[in-house]
Structure 1
Amino acid sequence: MYRAVELRRNRTVAIKSLHKRHQRDRWAVRQFVSEAQIMAKVCHPSIVGVHGLGQYPGGGYFLVMDWVDGENLQQKVDRAPLPVAEAVRIVNNVAGAISAAHHGNVLHGDLKPANILISRQNAVYVADFGLASLRSQTLNTNTIRGGTLAYLAPEQLTNTPLDFSVDVYGLGGLLYSILTGRPPRTGSPDTILSDLERGIPPVPPSRWGISLPSQLEALVMNCLASDPAARLPTVEQFRPELKAFCDAES
């Protein structure tokens, strides 16, 4: 990622380039181009905007995106898990952005702390729609190549069409990680894959010695249900449940 100035508009932008080692990888190129095409369909104040797709003279691709002056959420969480009030504020903002994406018929599919940016003014932005898909398209086992296995929903490892609940799972994983300081699933890739395939749920946050309201833990674990039918089906239904904690902590 590079910081640059777009001279015609005199604004600071970010340049995201496809790494050289992926430039001949058809899957990687397709996902990179797809990110630009899909993001052209979504506009929201909390989503990092994509302004254009370009190609270097040598053939490599790049995206021109909004520049966010700050850090990603993983860097913040690495220093210490966040208090409940801050965690629910951040995830509530992310949920608003994802709801807008869903209204555009777009699934994110890769929600994790590294893909959430926090500006110096504490504003929240959702980035990296590299695994995004239009609803009812299939993300198959190639998702393992791009997504972080510890945050993927079990159905993302199958060849079945995805629906909005895949991002409900992602929001649950995000909230879990912010509150505990660790991803919802830990262990070797083989162990995580086995747990996902067998439908074994993540360990509840309280098992890590985290003190949080029992209703909030129940919400997190509902989102992380292995069976999509057992989760809150949409982000629109998730947001009021989370907002109750925003109001209680404010």
Structure 2
Amino acid sequence: MTETPPGALRLPIVPGLTDLEVFARGGYATVYRATQISVGREVAVKVENRTLASERDQARFLREARAAGKMSSHPHVVDLFDVGVTVDQHPYLIMELCDGSYAERMRRCPLGAVEARDLGVKIADALAHSHAAGVLHRDVKPANILYSHFNPAVLADFGLAVLAEVRDASVTLEVLTPAYAPPEMFSHSPPSPAVDVYALCATLYAVMHGRPPRWQSERNPSLVTVLEMFQQPIPGLPGVPDELIDVLRLGMANDPGERPSAVELRGLLAALPLDPGAAPVSGAPYPGAPVSGGPTTGRHPLTRTGQPSPRP
């Protein structure tokens, strides 16, 4: 038997799987590519880096697993095949194996307006489905929207998902992604479906721009700087129709009550008459880019019903 080299990550033992190899690593979990022995298919297995050291941790994992299981029947949510705990007490989820994420796509070649709009319609529909079931995602971002040869967009990682009525905010800041989080996630306000709407709109902006809205670099700024960013306007993007940017601004309103629901966002995006020939946008900075609208605390060119409001 070969010994694990010093400092190397020991591969977990997951019942029913073989040929595990690291696919992706994060602060919260490690994802492996593996083969499911019983049916001979390739799968992804997400193994939490932490062990289930307490009853509270076990209850949280089971809650998340059930939430993810409820959602996986939707065509734009990643399929979940099984859950369990490794022999050394790390919880795991066995899921469909996808080809990549939109985080990779936006770094390689930002999306055009039509593709981003269509992506938004699919993921907004998935969120509408989860919110109707009382489940929040709470970590929508480009890295959690995957694609495969058979499906152009699936929402993954309900690892932060909670039943809406539980209002468990204690897990939020542990794995929060600041670039896609709304202002209320930095306070003690209980999360609501509006959190996912904000994150999806920030994600759609990012996949066209090449980086999150208002973000100046890849590195996370200080908390003070992040909070100051919410007072900055969200600029337009070259080649992207103002109508699409206006919808995204509405979804990123600082006040959760001003944001559309996931169902309303899906309708607003689907109704946009965009030119199928619109070109992708460069992720490079655009000096002097026009800024229509203003800070997300101000008036929006659209109302929640999608009707135009008077422009100043």
TM-score normalised by L of structure 2: 0.70
Corresponding residue number in structure 2 for 1:133:
162
For residue 142 of structure 1, report the CA deviation from its aligned partner. Answer: 3.9
Residue in structure 1 matched with residue 200 of structure 2 by the alignment: 171
Q: Pick one of 194, 206, 209 that aligns with 2:227.
A: 194
Q: 2:179 — aligned with what?
A: 150
TM-aligned CA distance change 1:154 to 1:139, over 3 Å:
farther
Seq. identity, %: 30
Output the CA distance in 1 between the equivalents of 2:80 and 2:46.
Answer: 10
Q: 1:184 offset after TM fit, Å?
A: 2.3
Paired residue for 2:213, among 184, 190, 194? 184
Corresponding residue number in structure 1 for 2:265: 238
Letter paired with 2:105: K
Distance 1:88 1:163 in 2: 23
Structure 1 distance, partners of 2:223, 2:59, is 27
Number of corresponding residues: 240
Normalized per residue, which structure has more helix?
1
Does residue 7 of structure 1 match 2:40?
A: no
In structure 2, what is the equivalent of residue 44 of structure 1? 74
Secondary structure of the corresponding residue to residue 274 of structure 2 = helix
- Greater CA deviation, 45-54 or 222-231? 45-54
Q: Contact 1:180/1:205 (CA < 8 Å) preserved in 2?
A: no
AA at the equivalent of 2:144: N
1:207-218 residue pairs with structure 2 within 5 A?
209-218=237-246
Mapped pair 1:62 → 2:92: yes
Determine which structure has more spread, i.e. the larger CA radius of gyration: 2
The answer to whether the Cα contact below 8 Å between 1:185 and 1:192 also exists between their aligned partners in 2 is: no
1:3-56 per-position Cα deviation (integer Å, ceiling 9, x unaligned): 22323334332111112xx22676876654432121122220110122222122
Larger deviation, residues 2-11 vs 110-119 = 2-11
Q: 1:133-160: CA deviations, max 9, x gaps?
A: 1113335364222121111122223333
Structure 2 unpaired stretches of 5+: 1-30, 277-312
Q: 1:59 to 1:25 in 2, by over 3 A?
A: closer
Contact 2:44 2:94 in 1 (8 A): yes
Task: Give CA deviations for 1:159-189 in whole Å, capped at 9, x if unaligned.
Answer: 3333222211111111111121111243613
CA–CA separation in structure 2 for the residues paired with 1:89 and 1:244: 11
* Matches for 1:66-81 after TM superposition, within 5 Å: 66-68=96-98, 70-81=99-110
Q: Which residue of 1 aligns with 2:297?
A: none
TM-aligned CA deviation for residue 190 of structure 1: 2.1
The letter of the residue matching 1:238 is L
Whole-angstrom CA distance in 2 between matches of 1:23 and 1:58: 8
Contact 2:52/2:90, CA 8 A, preserved across alignment: no
Check whether the contact 1:51–1:65 (CA below 8 A) recurs between aligned residues. yes
Q: 1:223 aligns with which of 244, 251, 255?
A: 251
Q: Where does structure 1 lack aligned partners over 5 or more consecutive residues?
A: none
CA–CA distance in 2 between the matches of 1:223 and 1:25? 38
Q: Does 1:248 align with 2:274?
A: yes
2:139–2:199 Cα contact (<8 Å) kept: yes
What is the TM-score when the length of structure 1 is the normalising length? 0.85
Out of 140, 145, 148, the position equivalent to 1:119 is 148
